[in-house]
Amino acid sequence: MKNVLVLCTGNSCRSQMAHGYLKHFAGSKAKIYSAGIETHGLNPGAVAIMQEDGIDITEYTSNNVNEYMDIDFDYIITVCDHANENCPYIPSKNAVRLHHNFSDPSKVTGSEEEIFEAFENTRNGIKAYCKAFVKEHLSKKAVL
């Protein structure tokens, strides 16, 4: 089983969505963790938009990356430029580090429809990324 860490600035929105999708798509192939370089609490908009797609993240917690320093990760995925640029050193021996900057829907202002659309667009991008990640990195057949 692989250990995968999803890292964002506040572990409240984008990393939580990625955590939910990775857990869903990877199943028993990986143990998924998410963390932030800060902790901002679980974003209600992220919870709602994930529930709309049948993924329940209500029990997730906002964790600081320092809580996971003893885990040897196989993959570390940063989902925002700020975390990618400011991530502390994580002592995983052979971790593959991947980065994709997703827009932060929690920063969008405007009408309810505009905010909903921002969350939906970010969620859909994260879903596609996570599905591709699992297919590429966790679904390879062993070569005998």
| Residue 78: C-alpha distances to residues 33, 49, 52, 128 (Å) | 12, 21, 24, 15
Annotated catalytic residue, options 13, 77, 80, 138? 80
Annotated catalytic residue, options 4, 6, 7, 8? 8
Nearest residue to 30 (alpha-carbon basis) of 5, 11, 47, 12: 5
Annotated catalytic residue, options 87, 130, 134, 138? 87
> Is 8 in the active site?
yes
> Is 80 in the active site?
yes
Catalytic machinery residues? 8, 80, 87
